[in-house]
Amino acid sequence: MTHPLVGIIMGSTSDWATMQHAADALDALGVVYETRVVSAHRTPHRLVDYAEQADARGLKVIVAGAGGAAHLPGMVAAMTHLPVLGVPVESKALSGMDSLLSIVQMPGGIPVGTLAIGHAGAKNAGLLAAAILATSDALLAKRLKAWRAAQTDGVATDPR
């Protein structure tokens, strides 16, 4: 399968340093994805087009990262039934607390699965997107289990 199943979108090219960790996780698991800059504030029409066309284009999960007044994940979730995973990008002014609170506190009815601030959140968004896809892809489930087992095996018993 070569068409992207996961859309990794972000509000700015400056978010890539964080969001690349979602891409890295998907690369490690052999999941095909696409990356796009889609800003809720600067490119609102691009946002509408992306969200409205995502399902028809074959995407299954959207990972959306943004910082500051981070409306992107919620706005995308408002316009597609696909699962949307939100990554709060660490902002300079408020260390990502603004991003987190902007993304996490959605009103009931339009869910965004909100991850941790920054690198860990982006990495986990990639892993969670893969886990969602793995519920209907036995080979991916096998790769995900192997990845997790390798992580477990890599944890030292002695901290020195």
Q: Which residues are annotated as a binding site?
A: 12, 15, 42
User: Residue 44 forms beta bridges with which residues?
Assistant: none
| Binding of residue 98 to ligand RP5 (CB under 6 A) | no
| Binding of residue 121 to ligand RP5 (CB under 6 A) | no
CB of 24 to ligand RP5, least distance (A): 19
| Binding of residue 67 to ligand RP5 (CB under 6 A) | yes
| Binding of residue 43 to ligand RP5 (CB under 6 A) | no
Catalogue the long-range contacts made by 144-151 (C-beta closer than 8 Å, 24 or more residues apart).
144/29, 147/28, 147/29
Question: Binder to ligand RP5 among 5, 22, 51, 68 (CB under 6 A)?
Answer: 68
Question: Binder to ligand RP5 among 11, 86, 118, 126 (CB under 6 A)?
Answer: 11
- Per CB under 6 A, the segment of 9-17, 74-82, 102-110, 111-119 that binds ligand RP5 is 9-17
Count Cβ atoms below 10 Å from residue 112 Cβ, excluding itself.
Answer: 22
Question: Measured from the CB atom, is 67 or 74 closer to ligand RP5?
Answer: 67
Helix/strand number for the chain, H first, E second: 6, 5
Residues 12-41 contacting ligand RP5, CB under 6 A: 12, 14-15, 39, 41
CA distance linking residue 104 with residue 112, whole number of Å: 7
Q: Which amino acid is at 90?
A: E
Site residue total, ligand RP5 (CB under 6 A):
11
Residues in the chain, total? 160
DSSP class of residue 34 equals: E
Q: What is the dihedral of CA 86, 87, 90, 94, to 10 degrees?
A: 20
CB of 36 to ligand RP5, least distance (A): 12
